Amino acid sequence: MPRYTVHIRDEWLAVPCRDPTYTIQWLGYEALKRYTKNKPDNGGINAVKDIRFVARRCQGQGLLDGDDTIEDVLEDNDFVEIVHKQHALSSLQNLFLDGNSLTSTDLVNLGRVVYGITTGFGKFARTVIPVHKLKELQENLVRSHSAGVGNPLSPERTRMLLALRINVLAKGYSGISLETLHRMIQAFNASCLSFVPEKGTVGASGDLAPLSHLALGLMGEGKMWSPKSGWADAKYVSHITGLALINGTQMITSLGAEAVERAQAIARQADIIAAITLEVLKGTSKAFDSDIHALRPHPGQIEVAMRFRALLDSDHHPSEIAESHRFCDRVQDAYTMRCCPQVHGIVNDTIDFTQKIINTEINSATDNPVSFTALDFLAIGVHELAAISERRIERLCNPSLSELPAFLVNEGGLNSGFMIAHCTAASLVSENKVLCHPSSVDSLSTSAATEDHVSMGGWAARKALRVVEHVEQVLAIELLAACQGIEFLRPLRTTTPLEKVYDLVRSVVKPWIKDRFMSPDIEAVHRLLLDQKVWNVAQPYIEKYNMELLPESRPISPTAFSLDPPASPRKRIRLE
């Protein structure tokens, strides 16, 4: 019998399904019944049948329509999250696009949230088209360029793509009519989204194939998705044409923005996870001394060392675990622990570098190619977080290195513990090594040698996202393993902020007493990292430590000393 794991608040519930033709709405209510069953006050839910909820996949956060059948949208052992509808909508806000001030953070939140006008294209650029055939030219362009293949982008990523296209067209340099732009905004605000295959762009004159599919749906052809209809025939939605809709790099940029934001989130949480592992392996915090890192003052390295001190400093947060081995005879720790500031630090610098490029690209009139080597750089950089994490997982699981039970479980042999979880981490790291091959070195000539040096930025963006996801999963496994290691050091306690992180993990995953189905545990902790809950728990302690060290430092407004005249008001476009 198929079964699905449903996340409600801080609990994971297994829900068997006898009939796959049942709807997502049935699955949600069935999970809510199980959630309230063993709660003394029904979990604060008075009547399950009166609850209005939103269902979404845990992986990728794709929204699920309540009327869809389970067999059509889920697979056996899929993970689903149920959120109160009012809570899901409370975080939404209006965003104004002016073509100049959109950031990668804004764009990711939205996902939850004259050439070619009278001539041919590419090889046919010198062929003049009669005026009476211009409409046919524009329609033919969109249809012929809609040649992508593969699975569609998720609705969230398609919303990002459409929002970014609107932002670029709002600059007024692409030859689009105001009427067409307004209709695109209407489509966005209604979440009427085209079927956009993820494969098919070489990053030449932008993402021609993906953006053509985006335009095709807006023309009323192909497929479109909306919250009410799901995937349906696009002719019932809209009808828009034109080159201005397809000539740009918005798919590369929107996926790149998501990769950057997720990389930034996992990078700072990697510091917290590594600090717990160092505690469990009875390492020393002396390697993070500020005087040491001042001798090589790379910004990321300085920042990471400060975070480790904030989490491990014995004067601020005494650790019984650290005190238990203060006078041991170990000279120094392995690189994977003592060199975290150097390794994690350069990853942070790489992410910052890439984010600046993405934010510039977001607010540029990108109707022709730009080389996206930065996304190759991002993938290579962020991969290091997984590579060093996998080595720390090995140290946690290896009794000769950890002084803990083999694979972090009692009765080894009868129980395998974290043996295969470590193998999973190793396989993800190995896969990342292949994905980190730079796509930008694979330029191929296209369009009859008119576009004879292309960026391959679409693949760079897609594989960067895959690398980031693998990094998240590897670090989720390390966090699980580190918290399991703490179980064998009890009753000793670690520092206050790290105990708070331990409590957070234990709110969704129980200690490993004997072997059990492990995938839900990994997915639950992965969800914590995606939601940045690990960072949210530790951040106040890090900020307090930093402010106590530098009481005189206060944030200064970047405009405080500006001598530039105020910018002239620009027309802004409102997205809901």
| pLDDT tens sequence for the chain (576 residues) | 788 888 887 678 888 988 889 999 899 888 888 888 877 666 666 666 777 788 887 765 566 778 888 888 887 767 888 877 655 444 445 677 777 888 888 888 777 744 344 455 555 555 666 767 777 888 888 888 888 898 999 888 999 888 888 888 888 877 778 888 888 888 888 888 899 998 877 765 567 788 888 888 888 888 888 777 778 788 775 544 455 666 666 778 888 999 999 999 999 999 999 999 999 999 999 999 999 999 999 999 999 999 999 999 877 789 999 999 988 878 789 999 999 999 999 999 999 999 999 998 888 766 554 546 899 999 999 999 999 999 999 999 999 999 999 999 999 999 999 999 999 999 999 999 999 999 888 777 666 666 666 777 888 899 999 999 999 999 999 999 999 999 999 999 999 999 999 999 999 999 999 999 999 999 999 999 999 999 999 999 999 998 887 654 444 333 333 334 444 444 556 666
Under 8 Å between Cβ of 320 and 287: no
Strands (E), 125-229: 149-152, 193-194, 197-199, 223-226
Alpha-carbon distance 28 to 54, whole Å? 9
Distances (CA, A) of 162 to 194, 481, 548, 571: 9, 40, 44, 19
- Look up residue 368 and give its DSSP letter: S
Q: At which residue do the structure tokens 């052992």 appear?
A: 77
Alpha-carbon distance 565 to 534, whole Å? 42
Beta bridge partners of 5: 14, 79
Q: At which residue do the structure tokens 């407004």 appear?
A: 557
Q: At which residue do the structure tokens 């990697």 appear?
A: 270
Distances (CA, A) of 573 to 169, 185, 550: 11, 8, 41
User: Can you tell me whether residue 446 is helix, strand or coil?
Assistant: strand
Per-residue confidence (pLDDT) for residue 488, from 0 to 100: 97
**Token pair belonging to 539:** 């951040």
- Residue in 115, 335, 541, 545 annotated catalytic: 115
The yes-or-no answer on residue 335 being catalytic is no
Which residue type, as a one-letter code, is found at position 224? M
First CA to last CA distance, the chain: 42
Alpha-carbon distance 186 to 207, whole Å? 23
Q: At which residue do the structure tokens 């400060």 appear?
A: 306
Per-residue confidence (pLDDT) for residue 553, from 0 to 100: 41
Under 8 Å between Cβ of 261 and 159: no
Per-residue confidence (pLDDT) for residue 93, from 0 to 100: 58
The helix (H) or strand (E) run that includes residue 97 is: strand 95-97
Per-residue confidence (pLDDT) for residue 115, from 0 to 100: 38
Per-residue confidence (pLDDT) for residue 41, from 0 to 100: 66
Strands (E), 195-349: 197-199, 223-226, 230-233
Alpha-carbon distance 239 to 242, whole Å? 11
Per-residue confidence (pLDDT) for residue 11, from 0 to 100: 78
Under 8 Å between Cβ of 255 and 465: yes
Residues whose CB falls within 8 Å of the CB of residue 476, separated by 6 or more in sequence, listed in order: 522, 525, 526, 528, 529
CA angle 483, 489, 490 (to 5 degrees): 95
Per-residue confidence (pLDDT) for residue 97, from 0 to 100: 77
Alpha-carbon distance 503 to 560, whole Å? 42
Ramachandran bin of 225, using left for φ above 0, alpha for ψ from -120 to 50, beta for the remaining angles: beta
Under 8 Å between Cβ of 173 and 115: no
In terms of Cβ atoms closer than 10 Å to its own Cβ (0-12, 13-18, 19+), residue 183 is middle
pTM of the model: 0.72
User: Can you tell me whether residue 63 is helix, strand or coil?
Assistant: strand
Biggest CA-to-CA distance, the chain: 88
